[in-house]
Structure 1
Amino acid sequence: MATVTQNQTRRGHGVVLDDHLPLHHRLGRVYRGGAALMGAFLIVFGILGLIDRIGFFSTSGSMVMGLGSNGALSVASFLVGGLLLAGAVIGGNTASTVNIVVGVAFLAAGFISLAVLDTRFNVFAFRLQNVLFSFVTGLLLMTFGMYGRVSGSLPHDNPYWRSRHPRT
């Protein structure tokens, strides 16, 4: 039977991915790099979309960097890019968690926008390439965030493995 740590008792049963882990572990470079790379791209995309002065909720939008965009998507991209860059600056477990959460949001946005393509509910002027971009970006961000953190075969010197097996 597995030993229940104090954090698991306090928060319920399950895997806890935060407080007790080292802040300056070498894996932090992966978390920071992924967040910075994607954040910078999204900020550039947002700025270029705002420069085009596209209608804010135009469902037709225009092309920016090969993706459909309008004012609302440009602002959202800029804000999410800023969030990712903030996570990269903070680093450590925060960057990892931000990558995971934003990655899941990108996957959800991809599915939602796929459902509303070519309808009046397409408020971000998504096109099929935007949907594919959302899926790829979501998977990349989740990979960056979970790298070395979530696996069935983490090495025994990994801080996440050690935190889950404190008496070994």
Structure 2
Amino acid sequence: MKLRDELPVDHHLASVYRYGAGFCGLVLLAFAALGFADALSPFDTAGDTIAGMTTNVALSVISTVVGLALLGGAVIGGNFASTLNIVVGGLFFLSGFAHVFVLDRPANILGFGMSNVIFSFVMGLFIATFGMYGRVSSKLSHDNPYWAARHPEQAAREKTAARPAPAGTAETAGALTAAAKPVRRGRR
């Protein structure tokens, strides 16, 4: 199954992926802009506080790159935006876990504080949810292309059952013959 082939371009889920990527990208770009505006030092491990979180120029650069990537995904849309959201959300989770272990240590080159770790987990969950919406569930509707890809036999049966019988088949001929017979009323 190739993900880029599964959803039609105009599928309603594509707008969820697109708007989610765009919104999260704008949030990251706003955080990065605030970090750059404060003229921070590149690898200050103490970090200055911006919007309740500690930051430095290195973190602002990473936030800019990821924010622009998410905005790019929003422009492209579709399955690309969905897959990008899932990957970026997972990376935010990994970043949160990694930075829990380097808090208050010299290895904390991005100047993370506990509020950054919590933000990383929350933003990762938010971005990944936008990416997985309509793709990951136990109760996907049967018209969802991801459900059809996971249940090809049942999807083929449902598609065949929903298709009208072509003219000239035995079923159609029998139905036409029965409809053409005159209806007898009363006794003879």
Q: TM-score range by the shorter chain?
A: 0.7 to 0.9
Q: Point out where structure 1 has 5 or more consecutive residues left out of the alignment.
A: 1-6, 8-15
Q: Which one has more relative contact order, counting CA pairs under 8 Å at least 6 apart?
A: 1
Residue 11 (structure 1) aligns with: none
Q: Point out where structure 2 has 5 or more consecutive residues left out of the alignment.
A: 158-188
**Structure 1 outlier segments of 4+, above 6 Å:** none
CA distance in 1, matches of 2:110, 2:5: 36
| Aligned-residue identity in percent | 53
Candidates 142, 156, 165, aligned match of 2:128: 142
Given the alignment of the two structures, is residue 110 of structure 1 paired with residue 99 of structure 2, yes or no?
A: no
Candidates 108, 132, 140, aligned match of 2:118: 132
Which amino acid counterpart does residue 28 of structure 1 have in structure 2?
A
CA distance in 2, matches of 1:155, 1:121: 47
CA distance in 2, matches of 1:24, 1:75: 34
Residue 180 (structure 2) aligns with: none
Residue 85 (structure 1) aligns with: 71
Q: Which has the larger radius of gyration?
A: 2
TM-score by length of 1: 0.87
Q: May I ask how many residue pairs the two structures share in their alignment?
A: 154
TM-score by length of 2: 0.78
Residue 74 (structure 1) aligns with: 60
Check conservation: 1:49, 1:64, Cα contact below 8 A.
yes
RMSD: 1.2
Which amino acid counterpart does residue 137 of structure 1 have in structure 2?
M
Q: Which has the higher helix share?
A: 2
Check conservation: 2:100, 2:117, Cα contact below 8 A.
yes
Quote how far apart the aligned CAs of 1:20 are.
Answer: 3.3
CA distance in 2, matches of 1:66, 1:24: 39
